[in-house]
Amino acid sequence: MTISVAIIGSGPSAFYTADALAKSGADCTIDLIERLPAPFGLIRYGVAPDHETTRKVSRAFDKTARGDKVAFFGNTEVGRDVSLAELRQAYDAVVLAVGAPNDRPLGIPGSDKKGVYGSAAFVGWYNGHPDFRALNPDLNVKAAAVVGVGNVALDVARLLVRAKPELEATDMAQHAVDAIAASPVTDVYLLGRRGAQFAAFTIGELREMGELEGASIVIDAATLPTSFDDVPEDDRRIQQKMVEMLRGFADLPKDRPKRVHFRFNTSPKEVLGGDRVEGLRVEKMRTENGRAVGTGETEDIPLGLVVAAIGYRSPRIEGGHFDEQKGLYPNDGGLVEPGLYAVGWAMRGPSGVIGTSKIDGQTVAKHIVEAGAGSGQAGKPGRAALEKLLAARKARRTTYADWDKIDAAEIARARPGAPRLKFPSVEEMLAALGR
């Protein structure tokens, strides 16, 4: 009997699950249900525009999407066009592959001021995500802080100091290229609340910071740790390598027009200013047994923009068992409850690189196939039922053939030398389809 599977989302974890199911040999249909008209989620809207190579993984996803078992339901929002309960009724298995697109709040006094953004919003804005088209951050500032010392923080800091021609060669949204190129920003502060031995960067991404043409790195080598005893043994070697790289940055020339300041053991305490950000009060910390402990010593850094790159949360979907505190769907190896699964960041929280969710997809695909074969979770109508429902609701679903058209139109409108220029709104994507 055919196993019908609905996967909510079309980012990496969704595609890895679809691919694993398609290759499992099981008799199944796989429907990818995506809120936006275009597929690929994090690959399209999360990966930094100057990391085009990382986006190449979408070629493999494209092959999966064209497989005969797979269908794409774009512009189809769970909660608007169809409910989770309806999907669970129609499909043998439903997979939550919704990622973690929401910001964790900074939650310090003043963090509601104009000029404070979460990285999901800020990254979405420069990446042309329709949800953040209107963010319109005021970049008429000389200095900015990026809170957090993970790879997203590096992406934001790097893009803020890139020169116009560098940005123009990417698929960055035109509104963001214009705003960043016009910004007088010269100094970006990257703030890590613990010591550098706990920085969450990966080596390749950190190395890139030392190679920026337009920005020098400012780091006080005396603040870098020499002992790594407090770092878990498995991470020690790589963290040591990272700190050595940071130490090397201290010796790089300081002659570039812009600066990225790495500040560790520095925690934001209060956003200063009136309506708008005028500064950030930070507290000097010390790291004890892997934890940041306040020293009471504060400093006010004058700046006009704060981007908090401190992690993400999954969206809560009505009817899915959601852990509000952790911001994910509690599960046992991907199994949320019989017939309902979670993969990727919805399953584990926002950690790991893109390929990490491959293993989640394989695990959950195996569960689904076993449940279908074993306890008879198979035989529900799946696709036919969803198509009927959407037609009755006059939903404006996009298919993968529609995506091909949007894709071609975006490539055709790219700036010279750039891979594409995304349509930054749902309306413009649908207009490219003549709707």
Coil, strand or helix: which one is 229? coil
User: Is 311 near ligand NAP (CB under 6 A)?
Assistant: yes
CB of residue 153 to ligand NAP, shortest distance in Å = 6
The smaller minimum CB distance to ligand NAP, of residues 201 and 423, is found at 201
The smaller minimum CB distance to ligand NAP, of residues 267 and 377, is found at 267
The smaller minimum CB distance to ligand NAP, of residues 7 and 100, is found at 100
φ, ψ (nearest 5 deg) of residue 17? -70, -45
Residue 311's closest CA among 346, 347, 280, 349? 349
d(CA 406, CA 394): 21
Virtual CA dihedral for 313, 317, 323, 328, nearest 10 degrees?
-40
The smaller minimum CB distance to ligand NAP, of residues 81 and 103, is found at 103
User: Is 152 near ligand NAP (CB under 6 A)?
Assistant: yes
Coil, strand or helix: which one is 308? strand
User: Is 192 near ligand NAP (CB under 6 A)?
Assistant: yes
Residue 349's closest CA among 383, 324, 312, 378? 312
Question: Up-side HSE of residue 272: CA atoms within 13 Å toward CB?
Answer: 15
Q: Which residue is nearest to ligand NAP (CB)?
A: 150
The smaller minimum CB distance to ligand NAP, of residues 4 and 151, is found at 151
The smaller minimum CB distance to ligand NAP, of residues 192 and 382, is found at 192
Question: Up-side HSE of residue 231: CA atoms within 13 Å toward CB?
Answer: 22
Taking CB under 6 A as the criterion, the residue among 116, 188, 200, 421 binding ligand NAP is 200
User: Is 198 near ligand NAP (CB under 6 A)?
Assistant: yes
- Residues within window 73-132 making contact with ligand NAP, judged by CB under 6 A: none
CA 29 to chain centre: 28
Q: Do residues 190 and 217 make contact, with C-beta atoms less than 8 angstroms apart?
A: no
The smaller minimum CB distance to ligand NAP, of residues 192 and 372, is found at 192
d(CA 317, CA 88): 13
User: Is 422 near ligand NAP (CB under 6 A)?
Assistant: no
The smaller minimum CB distance to ligand NAP, of residues 106 and 429, is found at 106
CB of residue 192 to ligand NAP, shortest distance in Å = 6
Residue 24's closest CA among 410, 368, 397? 368
Encoded tokens for 16: 């890895």
CB of residue 40 to ligand NAP, shortest distance in Å = 15
Q: What is the largest CA-CA distance in the chain?
A: 68
Taking CB under 6 A as the criterion, the residue among 344, 350, 361, 382 binding ligand NAP is 350
Residues in the chain: 435
Site stretch for ligand NAP (CB under 6 A), options 71-79, 170-178, 305-313, 384-392: 305-313
User: Is 205 near ligand NAP (CB under 6 A)?
Assistant: yes
Looking at the DSSP assignment, which residues form a beta bridge with residue 187?
Answer: 143, 259
Q: Which pairs with CB-CB distance under 8 Å and at least 24 residues apart come from 226-232?
A: 228/197, 230/197, 230/287, 230/289, 230/290, 231/197, 231/198, 231/290
- Residues within window 46-75 making contact with ligand NAP, judged by CB under 6 A: 51
The smaller minimum CB distance to ligand NAP, of residues 92 and 205, is found at 205
User: Is 202 near ligand NAP (CB under 6 A)?
Assistant: yes
User: Is 351 near ligand NAP (CB under 6 A)?
Assistant: yes
Total residues contacting ligand NAP (rule CB under 6 A)? 24
- Residues within window 352-371 making contact with ligand NAP, judged by CB under 6 A: 352-353
Question: Up-side HSE of residue 156: CA atoms within 13 Å toward CB?
Answer: 30
Q: In what order do the strands lie in the sheet with 266-273?
A: 266-273, 277-288, 291-302
Look up residue 328 and give its DSSP letter.
B
CB of residue 121 to ligand NAP, shortest distance in Å = 13
User: Is 153 near ligand NAP (CB under 6 A)?
Assistant: yes
User: Is 310 near ligand NAP (CB under 6 A)?
Assistant: yes
The strand ranges marked E within 106-154 are 116-118, 143-147
Site stretch for ligand NAP (CB under 6 A), options 66-74, 127-135, 144-152, 226-234: 144-152
User: Is 155 near ligand NAP (CB under 6 A)?
Assistant: yes
The smaller minimum CB distance to ligand NAP, of residues 314 and 398, is found at 314
The smaller minimum CB distance to ligand NAP, of residues 155 and 166, is found at 155
Instruction: Give the pairing of strands 102-103 and 28-33.
Output: unpaired
Give the footprint of ligand NAP on this chain (CB under 6 A): 51, 147-153, 155, 192-194, 198, 200, 202, 205, 267, 309-311, 350-353
